[in-house]
Amino acid sequence: MIDAQAFRSAPAARALLGRIRELVRGPVSLMEVCGTHTVSISRFGLRSLMPGDLKLLSGPGCPVCVTPLEEIDWAIGAARLPGVILATFGDMMRVPGSESSLERERAEGHDVRIVYSPLDALKIAEGSPGEEVVFAGVGFETTSPAVAATVAAAAERGISNFSVIACFKRVPPALEALAAMPGRKIDGFICPGHVSTIIGAGAYERVAAKHNIPCVVTGFEPLDILQGITMLLTQVDGIRQRGEAARVEIQYRRAVTMEGNPSALGMLSRVLETRDAAWRAIGTIPQSGHGFCDRYRAFDAGERLKVELPPTAEASGCICGEIMMGLKLPPDCPLFGGRCTPRDPVGPCMVSSEGSCAAFHKYEMIREA
């Protein structure tokens, strides 16, 4: 039996911090691309413990935050259709669309339900044969196999009043896009722990080799993150001092292998196929999304329903896009903490429980007395 607190031991943290300070010999920027890392880093106060030359950047790791406004508007439009039950993960509810939100639609009397699992949405479909259940399929590779498996189960059981809005995104193409941005300085990627249980750490080998950027797959406890940072800095030192080549390493060895989860990957390729995808405020990244393959296209909500869309209107002043690309931090936004708060958010980064702005607002708003 393992004591989870052992992954938070203060003496070990001190040792790792000491190592980090030894290894930082000039400006270095490390980027995480996972909402859970964003929250863990803020929640455990890790940013404040880093030496000044080490910048921890937050990338587009929050799947709700990177869902384009048009897709949010589409889900809202679907919820308005008579006979539709819109089922969604909780953190989609309050994301502002161009004119409304799913939460507001529910308040107006439309049937919008929060589910923990896509299987719950399928159960609703089974129990409501006269209604059309539409599930908002938002997530990275941690989530897409679960949704794929649910669609496969729907097909097997002949449940036809169920469809999915395919908003899935893939992490490795996003890393490539970030690394290739002109003028961008990312010295290492803290790679997402749970996405990598599915896709395997080997998925990052291409970006490591092509851009000479070390990639370390890291867990979510404070010691995991500190150890992951130490491993990245060791590589950065090797690259800068001895011209070594960047590599992919696994810190989160208890959960991640180089190959990933073959059953989950098999489920993905059975039900979904990769395609280009639009990322909110970033643009289209090639091969960075999933759609349904021919055999399961009947479950694509986009093919099944006709939805009216309002003109797309991004909130003015919101700099979520720059924040998601690690170019700015939440306090740099003129709306942060004033016009935009968790209670009354403007942009997705403040709404989602895994958004940078929400994490900063909750854990890093320290005022001088």
Partner 1 sequence: MCLAVPGRIVKLAGTTAKVDFGGVTTEAELVLVPEAREGDYVLVHAGFAIQVLDEAAAQETLKLYAELAEAVDDALDKRDGG
Minimal distance, residue 240 CB to partner 1, in Å: 24
Q: Which is nearer to partner 1, 139 or 173 (CB)?
A: 139
Q: Which H or E run includes 69?
A: helix 69-80
- Say if residue 365 is exposed, middle or buried (CB neighbours under 10 Å; 0-12, 13-18, 19+): exposed
Q: Which is nearer to partner 1, 79 or 198 (CB)?
A: 198
Nearest-angstrom CA–CA distance, 302 and 77: 11
Residue type, 93: M
Q: Hey, what are 341's tokens?
A: 């708060």
Minimal distance, residue 79 CB to partner 1, in Å: 20
Residue 72 sits at the vertex; the CA angle it makes with 70 and 77, to the nearest 5 degrees, is 90
Q: Which is nearer to partner 1, 319 or 350 (CB)?
A: 350
Minimal distance, residue 145 CB to partner 1, in Å: 6
Minimal distance, residue 172 CB to partner 1, in Å: 15
Q: Which is nearer to partner 1, 161 or 196 (CB)?
A: 196
Question: What order do you get walking across the sheet with 215-217 strand by strand?
Answer: 54-58, 28-32, 188-191, 215-217, 248-250
Minimal distance, residue 242 CB to partner 1, in Å: 24
Q: Which is nearer to partner 1, 118 or 173 (CB)?
A: 118
Cβ-based neighbours of 204, under 8 Å, separated by 6 or more: 172, 175, 189, 191, 215, 217, 248
Question: What order do you get walking across the sheet with 84-88 strand by strand?
Answer: 112-114, 84-88, 132-139, 162-168
Minimal distance, residue 195 CB to partner 1, in Å: 6
Q: Which is nearer to partner 1, 6 or 180 (CB)?
A: 6
- Say if residue 242 is exposed, middle or buried (CB neighbours under 10 Å; 0-12, 13-18, 19+): exposed
Nearest-angstrom CA–CA distance, 66 and 84: 25
Where does this chain bind partner 1 (CB under 8 A)?
2, 6-7, 9, 11-12, 14-16, 18, 34-37, 61, 63-64, 89, 91, 116-120, 138-140, 142-143, 145-146, 149, 192-195, 197-198, 220, 223, 227, 253-256, 261, 263-264, 267, 354
